[in-house]
């Protein structure tokens, strides 16, 4: 196959309606020129990062709409849009696996060209890290306080699988998938550069473990162990075997 022909024709003319609407000329020029890649893995490295940024753009934009619908208590809309967010989050996680097809040696070659860039500078990630606050505020005001409810009531003492409960579970799913992304990303780092090394900012990547411990909606996680402890105090923390011995 003629490489130069492929390189020359890949971006198209950019004049057909499909190309104009999707801005393919610009989109397909957002990567380094084919002749400037340091090795055969660098296109994949750039593309995966760029696509992840696009998913985060979509997730953040959708969360803005979810916040509006939370304030209107429009549960059907909230759930449909959360489904979109959760699918995009799962895609973000799955796509990390592509980078496992790159050898540690080839990543070191790419790394030379990254300056002191770090994923912590990702505009999408930094934005998403802040979006849980308004979401929680809207949920608390409109689904709980306005109806005299609490997290404890919707999960336990007044549990009836209510709108507030299913929305709370959608929030928890967003939280959980965000942490799953961090977990899989850490696995990817372990596979590529190892966990004992310093990042391009000079910090130990072990610091990323700290991020893994954070939760957007701690109240939604605490309720689970509070229920376990409360029920455990009734039926005994350490119990008899059901076999009766």
203 binds ligand HEM (CB under 6 A): yes
- Distance (Å, whole) CA 206 – CA 56: 24
Instruction: Name the residue among 92, 107, 8 with its Cα closest to residue 56.
Output: 92
Stretch that binds ligand HEM, among 71-79, 159-167, 196-204, 227-235 (CB under 6 A): 196-204
Q: 11, 120, 127, 187: which one contacts ligand HEM (CB under 6 A)?
A: 120
Q: 185, 216, 217, 220: which one contacts ligand HEM (CB under 6 A)?
A: 185
Ranges within 52-81 binding ligand HEM (CB under 6 A): 52
Q: Which is nearer to ligand HEM, 168 or 177 (CB)?
A: 177
Torsion angle (degrees, nearest 10) of CA 157, 161, 163, 164: 30
**Contact assessment for residue 51 and residue 44, using Cβ atoms and an 8 Å cutoff:** no
Ranges within 20-49 binding ligand HEM (CB under 6 A): 48-49
- Distance (Å, whole) CA 3 – CA 50: 24
**Contact assessment for residue 171 and residue 136, using Cβ atoms and an 8 Å cutoff:** yes
Binding positions for ligand HEM, rule: CB under 6 A: 48-49, 52, 96, 99, 107, 118-120, 122, 125, 182, 185, 188-189, 192-193, 199, 201, 203, 205, 207-208, 211
């Amino acid at each position: 196959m003629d490489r130069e022909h492929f390189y020359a024709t890949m971006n198209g003319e950019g004049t057909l309606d499909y190309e104009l609407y999707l801005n393919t000329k610009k989109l397909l020029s957002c990567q380094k020129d084919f002749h400037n890649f340091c090795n055969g893995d660098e296109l994949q490295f750039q593309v995966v990062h760029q696509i992840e940024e696009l998913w985060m753009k979509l997730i953040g934009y959708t969360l803005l709409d979810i916040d509006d619908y939370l304030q209107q208590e429009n549960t059907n809309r909230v759930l449909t849009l959360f489904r979109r967010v959760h699918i995009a989050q799962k895609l973000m996680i799955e796509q990390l696996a592509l980078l496992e097809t790159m050898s540690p040696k080839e990543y070191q070659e790419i790394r030379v060209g990254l300056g002191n860039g770090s994923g912590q500078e990702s505009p999408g990630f930094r934005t998403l890290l802040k979006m849980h606050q308004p979401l929680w505020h809207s949920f608390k005001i409109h689904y709980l306080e306005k109806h005299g409810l609490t997290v404890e009531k919707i999960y336990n003492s007044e549990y009836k699988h209510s709108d507030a409960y299913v929305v709370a579970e959608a929030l928890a799913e967003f939280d959980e998938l965000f942490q799953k992304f961090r977990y899989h990303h850490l696995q990817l780092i372990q596979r590529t550069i190892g966990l004992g090394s310093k990042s391009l900012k000079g910090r130990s990547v072990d610091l990323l473990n700290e991020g893994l411990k954070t939760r957007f909606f701690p109240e939604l996680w605490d309720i689970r162990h509070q229920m376990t402890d409360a029920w455990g105090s009734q039926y005994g923390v350490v119990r008899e075997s059901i076999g009766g011995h």
